[in-house]
Amino acid sequence: MTAENAPSAPITQDVLTLPRKLPEGPVNLVGLTRDQMQAALIAAGTPDKQARMRVNQVWQWIYHWGVRDFAAMTNLAKDYRALLASNFVIALPEIVTKQVSEDGTRKYLVRIAGGHEVEIVYIPEEDRGTLCISSQVGCTLTCSFCHTGTQKLVRNLTAAEIIGQVMLARDDLGEWPVPGAPKDETRLLSNIVLMGMGEPLYNFDNVRDAMKIAMDPEGISLSRRRITLSTSGVVPEIARTADEIGCMLAISFHATTDEVRDKLVPINKRWNIDALMTALASYPNASNSERITFEYVMLNGVNDTDADAHRLIALIRKYNVPAKINLIPFNEWPGAPYTRSSNNRIRAFADIIYKAGYASPIRTPRGEDIMAACGQLKSATERARKSRAQIASEAGL
Ligand code: SAH
Ligand code: SF4
């Protein structure tokens, strides 16, 4: 298949979002904002006056120490621990399988409520370790080069399921602090990228709440500059990303004309290159030190000519966007309608960008042997699309 006859997609948002709290039974404390946790503790009988202090204590246990058992929260009185245990749980998704690539990349298959599955990838590098997390099961958008886009079933992850991915990875890396041990400044999990399955800006509130938890200084405490959100271009939510999350932004750009981008990234039919670039030009955080990453997948004969490289530079200059360009060699998946551009073509493309004065790193594919590279993620146990009622009943709602 070529770009000309690649499937085009409905740009709808038919996604089920589960409520944060189950109507009955214990409430999961994971994924609640500080305000929500405070309200939940008060509802369970914590005196108003103590509530803020209790949130601080419980927050530290969960997100700084990685504790999952109320009995281990030793600075709380025994009867308060009992109150917590009878009203709340500290629940994470469950790791079903873990694969480790020849290059050290780890891929986890994780099961969430309703029996759905998402994938998480941990990529160790010399000076950092990046966790690539998912924001949805599948994706409503159907970018023609992306494996996730072929998955029919879609549901938004809850904030608990999003931050839970980070917590599970820290469990597996053995990275929660040990009381009394010297503080370790080199973190195995130092960066988060929202580049797994799903379009994070179609699940804005849950992604925001989860990333706020990741950044909270009393807990996991990652700098906002070490979190990158990648979007295919949900224009109305872009400014909110700076205002409400404050993290770094990456854009799945991938084409330099609307004609080609319409086919590769179908959301372009709703918000075209001009609308996207206009939103980026006024992105509140953009500056030379916080440049926006333009992701560009190199597809043989589709978007990889010298003319494309020149057009890309011209666009970035025209709209005056502080940018760096990340070239991603296409990662193939079974039945993919494209092939990867040759190394020579990718280098020539990178050279044009570099000579124009922009950084143009070529991303080395990681974990290809375990299908963990960009765009290869897709739930292995694909099923037919289910009704909302069926998903809700499976989730116990
Ligand atoms: N939905 C978001 C984030 C997930 S995709 C987005 O589209 O930005 C993360 C990155 O991988 C995106 O830039 C995406 O375009 C790219 N990608 C998808 N499939 C790919 C593939 N098969 N090979 C290389 N990159 C791919
Ligand atoms: Fe969804 Fe991103 Fe894949 Fe497009 S590239 S289908 S937006 S996950």
Best residue for ligand 1 mutational test, from 165, 297, 340, 368 (most atoms within 8 Å of Cβ):
297
Tell how far the Cα of 142 is from the centroid of ligand 2, in angstroms: 6
Report yes or no: 59 and 49 within 8 Å, Cβ to Cβ: no
Question: Is residue 8's pLDDT more than 50?
Answer: no
Cα Rg, the chain, nearest whole Å? 22
Tell which atom from ligand 2 comes closest to the C-alpha of 230.
Answer: 2
Decide whether any atom of ligand 1 lies within 6 Å of the 298 Cβ.
no
Ligand 2 pocket by Cβ (under 6 Å): 139, 141-143, 146, 148-149, 198-199, 232, 252
Q: Residue written as tokens 């009203």? A: 87
| Per-residue pLDDT tens over the stretch 236-271 | 999 999 999 999 999 999 999 999 999 999 999 999
Mean pLDDT across the stretch 320-333? 93
Atom of ligand 1 nearest to the CA of 230: 8
Query: 236 has which bridge partners?
Result: none
The per-residue pLDDT for range 186-231, each reduced to its tens digit, is 799 999 999 999 999 999 999 999 999 999 999 999 999 999 999 9
Asked if 374 is an active-site residue, the reply is yes
Q: pLDDT at position 182, please?
A: 73
The closest ligand to the CA of 252 turns out to be: 1
Element (H, E) at 296: strand 292-298
Starting from the CA of residue 295, give the closest ligand.
1
Domain 94-394 belongs to what architecture? Alpha-Beta Barrel (3.20)
CA pair distance 235, 160, nearest whole angstrom: 26
pLDDT band, very low/low/confident/very high, at 360 (cuts 50, 70, 90): confident
Q: What is the 3-state secondary structure (H, E, C) of 149-162?
A: HHCCCCEECCHHHH
Structural contact between residues 349 and 309, judged by C-beta atoms closer than 8 angstroms: yes
Neighbour-count burial of 345, counting CB atoms closer than 10 A to its CB (0-12 exposed, 13-18 middle, 19+ buried): middle
CA distance 163 to 315: 36
How far the first Cα of the chain sits from its last, in Å, is: 42
Name residue, tokens 């405070």.
Answer: 38
Both tokens of residue 187?
A: 């973190």
Q: What is the mean pLDDT of residues 348-353?
A: 97
What SS3 class is residue 94?
Answer: strand
Q: Which of 119, 237, 295, 368 is catalytic?
A: 119
CATH topology assigned to domain 24-89: DNA polymerase; domain 1 (1.10.150)
Look at phi and psi of residue 259 and say left if phi exceeds 0, alpha if psi is from -120 to 50, else beta.
alpha
Instruction: Give buried/exposed letters for 95-114 (b at 16+ CB in 10 A, else e).
Output: beeebebeeebbbbbbbbbb
* pLDDT score at 12: 43
Distance from the alpha carbon of residue 180 to the mean position of ligand 1, in angstroms: 42
DSSP letter string, 175-235: -SPPTTSPPP-S-SS-EEEE-SSS-GGGGHHHHHHHHHHHH-TTTT---GGGEEEEES--G
Q: Give the residue with greater pLDDT, 48 vs 10.
A: 48
Under DSSP, the state recorded for 320 is T
C-alpha 326 to ligand 1 mean position (Å)? 12
Query: pLDDT tens, 115-147?
Result: 888 999 999 999 999 999 999 998 999 899 998
Is residue 119 annotated as a catalytic residue, yes or no?
yes
Domain ranges of the chain: 24-89, 94-394
73 CA to centre of ligand 2 in angstroms: 41
Whether ligand 1 lies within 6 angstroms of the CB of 368 is answered as: no
Q: In this structure, which residue's CA is closest to atom 8 in ligand 2?
A: 198
Q: Is the CB of 232 under 6 A from ligand 1?
A: yes
Say how many residues make up the chain: 397
